[in-house]
Structure 1
């Protein structure tokens, strides 16, 4: 398997990335000026938002969900597994990567609104730069991080994967929670 190595320190500096509360590094790159409301709701939000997201140094994106669809885009580096749990407990893993070098990967994957998801580099020593686009736009008030034990109790058939990609308590308390897509 060909490796598409990237230097994470260079990308953190070049793209001005900050630590993300769910793991990895990010920077919001786009927030639509156009506003939308969901049916049956009065909250106004940006029509769409986008971020750069970097996974490296063994970090993973811990289990979380949002109330909007999220499209993941692969840019550079090693393949990334985006694990998605739907309301019925079905697990789907999307493998993002350079599909020209890794035939078992795709350049884009969608996580539907309300599904729990987590992501990790396919290889623990890997690094990958991806992007995430959310529509309607991301609002932190709609971000829900899974609490330890909650998903394992609800979906015991996936207990090992859920536990492995759980949140680190120190991560949540030491990072900012504003401006994520």
Structure 2
């Protein structure tokens, strides 16, 4: 079944999205008033945050990691793949999309805290609007883009995939 096409430029304006450092466009839509602390830390964090995230025009979300769990939610457009590498080098790819239209897709996928991940639309000319919910809440101070060559050296069995979704400077 054909996915509903997204007018990326109109959606960027309508949702007031801005370029994200990892690629794509985003806007924070929610930051909990309540705070939590991580076990063993004293720093307060919002209990949860949420964003809209749009991948379009051949862009990808470059390899990065954060210190909180992140739940990805599919909203509209084409399926995308969320590639996740855990500390042991195990690779899992979640196909995020409309599960009613795409048998191999799911509406939600979880990336565990500390795992490296990257995302890309299955169709290079496609666009996908998703949401990401992070708990404890997202802080840019805990966002880490993979340095060139570091992941390839650590996980040589996934070198080709890692190189495809590196950060574009």
Q: Same fold (TM over 0.5)?
A: yes
Q: Is 1:20 equivalent to 2:20 in the alignment?
A: yes
What secondary structure is seen at the aligned counterpart in 1 of 2:12? Answer: helix
Equivalence for 1:154? 154
- Distance in 2 (CA, whole Å) between partners of 1:3 and 1:76 is 8
Equivalence for 1:179? none
**After TM superposition, where is structure 1 displaced by more than 3 Å over at least 4 residues in a row?**
none
Count of matched residue pairs: 169
Equivalence for 2:89? 89
Residue 4 of structure 1, CA deviation? 2.1
Equivalence for 2:47? 47
Residue 3 of structure 1, CA deviation? 2.4
Q: Is 1:75 equivalent to 2:75 in the alignment?
A: yes
- Distance in 2 (CA, whole Å) between partners of 1:55 and 1:8 is 9
Question: Would you say the 8 A contact 1:146–1:166 is kept in 2?
Answer: yes
The residue correspondences of 1:92-107 to structure 2 (distance < 5 A) are: 92-107=92-107
Deviations 1:116-144 (A, max 9, x none): 00000011111000000000000111111
Residue 5 of structure 1, CA deviation? 1.1
TM-score (norm 2): 0.99
TM-score (norm 1): 0.92
Stretches of structure 1 that go unaligned for 5 or more consecutive residues are 170-181
Q: Is 1:131 equivalent to 2:105 in the alignment?
A: no
Question: Would you say the 8 A contact 1:63–1:117 is kept in 2?
Answer: yes
Question: Would you say the 8 A contact 1:2–1:102 is kept in 2?
Answer: no
Q: Is 1:113 equivalent to 2:113 in the alignment?
A: yes
Stretches of structure 2 that go unaligned for 5 or more consecutive residues are none
- Distance in 1 (CA, whole Å) between partners of 2:4 and 2:164 is 25
Deviations 1:68-116 (A, max 9, x none): 0000000000001000000000000000000111111000000000000
